Structure 1
Amino acid sequence: MNLREVLKKSGRNIGIKLPAVRSYSKQLFIALKHLKSCGVLHCDIKPDNMLVNENKYVLKLYDFGNAVFAGKNEVTPYLISRFYRSPEIILGLAYDHPLDIWSV
């Protein structure tokens, strides 16, 4: 399931437990660190683009359809889903890896 589905089914409108939030956050930031070392920007981080395994212990980032290599990106206001859009995108400024951190 993606993270949004996990929140709907497991959270029952109250959210998920703090240890799960910590675990998912840690895994997500490890993924971002790896993307940065590869020079890649995901550009579409949102709960729908995070997969959680059956046991709900492992979170993986997926859907790299909007991903670009850092430094080879165009400034466009429609790059990211509006609820996760960073200030750089809204203002039409150049962007880099902090863009994905903002979405997290």
Structure 2
Amino acid sequence: MLAEIGRHLMAQLKPVTVRLPAELAAQAARAWARDEEEPAGPETVEQAVVRSFAATLALIGMAVGQDRGAEEDVVVTLGPQQVAGCVFAAEHVEERWSDHGDGG
């Protein structure tokens, strides 16, 4: 059902222009430039989530390469999927840190 809601929302959402710190933008651009040496084989759910995060990072890196930067920040236009992926990753990392009692 969540995917069904997502399909309806995606049709309503437009890309958004955001500012990223230059270092984060540079790291994303490097992720886009990286070559994958081996195709993905069978994977666990956790591995699939990590791969999805890596793909989102690489797509942001591609967008960074296409958009213009400011002095300290890079201005980039992201689609709703990339924004959602970033938010989901942030929540996932926060949950993992708080589950281990390490703070965040």
TM-score, reference length from structure 2? 0.27
Larger Rg: 1 or 2? 2
Name whichever structure is richer in helix by fraction.
Answer: 2
TM-score, reference length from structure 1? 0.27
Higher RCO, 1 or 2 (CA under 8 Å, sep at least 6)? 2
